[in-house]
Amino acid sequence: MQGIDGLHPEKDGLKMKIARRAPILAVIILVLSAAVIIAWPRRHEATFYPIGVIPFRIVAYERTAFQFRDDLEAVTARMAELVAVFNRHDPTSELARMNDKARSVPFEVGTDMLRIFELSRKWHRETNGAFDPSVGPLIDLWKGAGANKRLPTADEIAVARHKAGLDLVTTMGNGKISFTREGANLDFGAIAKGYMTDEAALVLKQRGVKRGLVQAGGDTLAFGDGTFRIGIQDPTAKSGEGIVGTIEMSAGAISTSGSYERFIEIDGERYSHIVDPRTGSPVDNGVVSATVIARTSTDADAIATALMVLGLSDSIDLIKRLERVEAILILRGSDDYDVWASASLVPRLTLGPDWLGRVHLF
């Protein structure tokens, strides 16, 4: 039987004691839970913007709040270092200085520049020249055309093409790069973000993060145990919203390149920001986006851009030739879109209902 309230002096005394101490107890509980929140290892994530509007998102598992604060600081510092190397539009960057100086005298470059140049040369070779960081003069020509709303003439294209070509760039074997023709310059826009993603993950790993994810715009790298589910952006959706489907992956990289977000517009026509080095003009082969799954983000980024240039048939040949590389291409047909995907992706690929009936495997 329950006693009636007010008739138990002992109980009342206890209640009053608790009531008096309630604020102290509340403070203790608050401090303890705050301590647990701060000191308990868990999943953390943060987004920052080292280059313009491109969001860099990092996710780290099993980290305390203090550890993650320092992780973020270390990654941010490394990214700032790399932006100072690769940002072609900042005249003080190493790349801009090299583009300016290497015409006359061999320019001594740092380790990051040398590494990205060597990797670019490798992918230029592997993709039969589709990936080509020496397209700088052509990029500038087409950017200018977009700004002036006037298509370049055949002569202007020929002049810019004359300044493009990796054979115009030489490494001296002593960390120096030089251009053998006036006007030649390099643009690492198709690979630098992938490289930064790899480097961000490396910083996290070196700091002891066992499992995590780095996402820089269309470039993602996952590391550690377990599976990660990554969305594939819908190139037909407005303002980057919506996904075609998801891909389940263990550690590795996935990059998407597309002509749907960045393009130039002249007389109501859209032109891709990716140039075909063989013609000197923006690509126009029906491929609207290329997603590549590879071991590193640098590789995935470079290959994805190359697929945008190569078109469907040559892309399939390249992907089949490369080991441990898979791809998903979205093509614009006469009245609809088609998806072409590596057959090995089937167990890991989930497509939305709108896309399911349009898949072709290779």
Q: If you write DSSP's letter for every residue of 327-343 in order, what string do you get? A: EEEEEE-SSSEEEEE-G
State in angstroms the smallest separation of the CB of 305 from Mg ion.
4
Among Mg ion, ligand ADP, none, what binds residue 249 when CB lies within 5 to 8 Å by partner kind?
none
State in angstroms the smallest separation of the CB of 283 from Mg ion.
13
Do strands 359-361 and 337-341 pair parallel, antiparallel, or not at all (unpaired)? parallel
Of 58 and 139, which has the nearer Cβ to ligand ADP?
139
**x/- map, 217-256, ligand ADP, by CB under 6 A:** xx--------------------------------------
146 is a site residue for ligand ADP (CB under 6 A): no
Among ligand ADP, Mg ion, none, what binds residue 324 when CB lies within 5 to 8 Å by partner kind?
none
Among ligand ADP, Mg ion, none, what binds residue 262 when CB lies within 5 to 8 Å by partner kind?
ligand ADP
Of 257 and 296, which has the nearer Cβ to ligand ADP?
257
Could you identify the residue written with the tokens 């520049």? 113
Among ligand ADP, Mg ion, none, what binds residue 133 when CB lies within 5 to 8 Å by partner kind?
ligand ADP
Q: Label residues 222-261 b or e (16+ Cβ within 10 Å = b).
A: bbbeeebebebbbbbeeeeeebbbbbebebbbbbbbbbbe
Cα separation, 249 vs 222, whole angstroms: 8
- 98: three-class secondary structure by DSSP: helix
Among 113, 190, 303, 328, binds ligand ADP (CB under 6 A): 190
Interface positions with Mg ion (CB under 5 A)? 190, 257, 301, 304-305
Could you identify the residue written with the tokens 């994805």? 304
Q: Residue 3 has what DSSP assignment? A: P
Q: If you write DSSP's letter for every residue of 129-155 in order, what string do you get? A: TSS-GGGHHHHHHHHHHHHHT-PPPHH
Query: Which residues are at the interface with ligand ADP (CB under 6 A)?
Result: 131-133, 135, 139, 187, 189-190, 193, 217-218, 257-258, 262, 273-275, 277, 301, 305, 309
